[in-house]
Amino acid sequence: MYIVNYRRRAEAAFLLFCFFFFLSIARLCFIQFFRSEYLAEIAQKQHNMFIELEPRRGTVYDCNLKPLAVNLVFESVYAEPNQLSREQKERIAAQLAPLLALERSFLASRLDRDKAFVWLARKVSPEQAQQIRALKFKGIGMIKESKRCYPNDYLLSQVLGFAGLDNTGLEGLELYYDNYLKGEPGWATVLRDARSKRLDLNDTTVPAKDGYHLVLTIDEVVQYIAERELEKAYQTYHAKGASIIVIDPRTGQLLALANRPGYDLNKPGHVSKDQIRNRAICDMFEPGSVFKIVTAAAALEENKVNEMTRFFCENGEYRVANHTLHDHRPHGWLTFREVIEQSSNIGTSKVAQLLGPDKLYEYIKRFGFGAKLGIDIPGEINGSIKPPRQWSKTSIACVPMGQEVGVTALQLATALSVIANGGYLMKPYLVREVRDRQGQVIDYYPPTLVRQVLSEETAARMRKILIGVMENGTGKMGKLGQFTAGGKTGTAQKLDPNGSYSHDKYIASFMGFAPAEDPQVAIVVTVDEPHPYYFGGVVAAPVFKRVAEDVLKYLKTKEYTQQTASLK
């Protein structure tokens, strides 16, 4: 009986052993065939630390290859919390907080994370890096990263824009050309043991691919001249804002573009949206009398008038429908040339009536108003121009002199370029070429013709009329000393919130080209709400004069220097 019971117990134990044996085999098979990839991935994460290697962002150069935006090498501080004890974490937080100018609680929260890698501070100064390295903390390391820097601080702020902490473009050209500039990140793999200690074995590294360089059409010297003079006017006339554009009318290349107020590109975190806004391409305003060049050019092109056609300007008051049109001073009989020179609203409206609403609208569109010009920077707007079917009875008098029309400073610059270059609308642009790290050209952007707007004969006649504006008319304060120039003044009333025209808020503007016989630059200046003076001929024309004179002298010297260098 005892032997039988013993045999039964032995058989039960054997069967139980077999059951657990086959259960273990089944579990192992399940792990091997169904869970192996998941567990291998966990093991890989535990034994391999992946660090992203940031690419070096491409440099932005002016047309003479002077750097405008560069990346410099800084060090970033990281921690490996899994290697640190509670006391070590507290000591590190206490000592690093004053060095990094961070709250102790912030560092403590970062160190308390259950991770193998956390950032403590990105792109610290060389002095901070040296002090931290001297502390020789376990579990604290440094990684070299690049930081975006702008050597000229405020220069070209709304055009360049800026990049964020991760070197991603956020504004301006930095944003528009981000895919070219940012490059592609790389990776470094660090092998660790079961206690997360780094092993002295070869690390695996996939190097980052650095970004491409941009070469702009902007000339740093021209930009400096333009910003210097714009700043003077902005401060002198206590303006709300101001813009200036210097463009090569032959190609559409922008040599300078500036706005006020500006901001320090190296401190973008402390500026308002008003400072960041690129007013020259995203602010719409009624242009006033500078718009008369469109009416005048259309009338000449359509043979509705010639330079000596006479118009009676009603001694300063002219009734159109239920609206009385005024001139800034009374005029009697004026020739067509004198109408533009003296900026007569009444004379211009009579010219427009000969032209007709449909034909005037056609030329407004042909000059590029009411549509984006396609400039290579974010923020450009269409402007506004209503088709003739939506015009009121007074529109034929208001539109020709720049009312009921919304434009940008860039649209005015390209429209003036049509007259300066012989009748051709050129696409404005800011980037001339893209280069790789070896200096090879990856992409080249040539001048682009949009369409022919005027015949060369009409453009030449308009240039002579605009020279007369400078010599005999409202633009005398913009007259150059050593060079001939043509231009047009503008003084536009702003709209009040109730829809009526303001009597104390104006936009003063001036647009001009020089030298008149072979225009190399076209310049547009707009000043928003200047006071106590607000006339375009008083506020904006002197800015044109100073900028044009200095820029032409510089370009002449630059051309001579290049010719001398080529001879050598």
Question: What's the number of CA atoms in the CB half-sphere (13 Å) around residue 284?
Answer: 16
- Report the candidate in 372, 332, 348, 345 with the shortest Cα–Cα distance to residue 297: 348
pLDDT band of residue 51 (cuts 50, 70, 90) is low
Q: Which two tokens stand for residue 456?
A: 């060369």
Domain ranges across the chain: 56-216, 220-261+280-567
User: Does 157 qualify as catalytic in the annotation?
Assistant: no
pLDDT of residue 495: 86
Q: Options 3.40.710.10, 3.40.50.300, 3.40.50.2000, 1.10.3720.10; which CATH number does 220-261+280-567 get?
A: 3.40.710.10
- Say yes or no to pLDDT of 42 above 70: no
pLDDT over 90, % of the chain = 61
207-238 pLDDT per residue, tens: 778 899 999 999 999 999 999 999 999 999 99
Residue 132 has a pLDDT of: 86
- The answer to whether 486 and 520 have CB atoms below 8 angstroms apart is no
The per-residue pLDDT for 557 is 85
Secondary element (H or E) of residue 61: strand 60-61
pLDDT digits (tens, 9 = 90+) for 255-265: 999 999 999 99
- pLDDT band with cut points at 50, 70 and 90 for residue 191: low
Contacts of 379 (CB under 8 A, 6+ apart): 277, 278, 281, 282
Residue 376 amino acid letter: D
Mean pLDDT is highest, among 55-64, 164-173, 195-204, for: 55-64
In this model, does residue 378 exceed pLDDT 90? yes
Q: Is the pLDDT of residue 117 over 90?
A: no
Q: Please give the average per-residue pLDDT across 44-63, as a whole number.
A: 76
Q: Report whether pLDDT(302) > 80.
A: yes
For residue 201, name the pLDDT band (cuts at 50, 70, 90).
very low
High-pLDDT (> 70) share of the chain, %? 91
Residue 544 C-beta-side C-alpha neighbours within 13 Å: 38
Fold of 56-216: Penicillin-binding protein 2a (Domain 2) (3.90.1310)
Cα(51)–Cα(142) distance, rounded to whole angstroms?
12
517 pLDDT more than 50: yes
- From the CB of residue 533, how many other CB atoms can be counted at a distance below 10 Å? 13
CA distance 494 to 480: 30
Give pLDDT tens digits for 434-450: 999 899 999 999 999 99
Instruction: Work out the number of other CB atoms within 10 angstroms of the CB of residue 269.
Output: 7
In this structure, are strands 213-216 and 60-61 parallel, antiparallel, or unpaired? parallel
Q: Would you say 517 and 402 are in contact if contact means Cβ atoms under 8 Å apart?
A: no
Band of the pLDDT at 32, cuts 50, 70, 90? confident
Residues 6+ apart with CB under 8 A from 40: none
Question: What number is the average pLDDT over the span 497-504?
Answer: 85
Q: What is residue 376's predicted lDDT score, i.e. its pLDDT?
A: 95
Closest CA to 142 of 128, 156, 161: 128
Q: Which residues contact 24 (CB under 8 A, 6 or more apart)?
A: none
**Beta strand extents in 456-500 (DSSP E only):** 486-495
The Cα–Cα gap between 187 and 208 comes to 7
Query: Among 76, 146, 289, 349, which one carries the catalytic annotation?
Result: 289
pLDDT category at 194 given cuts 50, 70, 90 is low
Q: Rounded CA gap, 443 and 431, in Å?
A: 10
- Stretch 233-253: mean pLDDT: 97
Q: If you average pLDDT over every residue of the chain, what do you get?
A: 89
Q: Alpha-carbon torsion 464, 468, 471, 474, what sign?
A: negative
* Alpha carbon separation from 451 to 293, 308, 365, 367, 421 (Å, rounded): 18, 29, 11, 9, 12
Model confidence, pTM: 0.84
Task: Check pLDDT > 80 for residue 17.
Answer: no
Does residue 363 surpass a pLDDT of 70?
yes
Query: In this model, does residue 104 exceed pLDDT 80?
Result: yes
565 or 131, greater pLDDT:
131
Q: Report pLDDT for 175.
A: 96
pLDDT given for residue 568 in this prediction: 58
Mean pLDDT lowest among 193-197, 300-304, 530-534, 553-557 = 193-197
- Answer yes or no: is pLDDT of 564 > 90: no
| Residue 217 to residue 221: CA distance in whole angstroms | 12
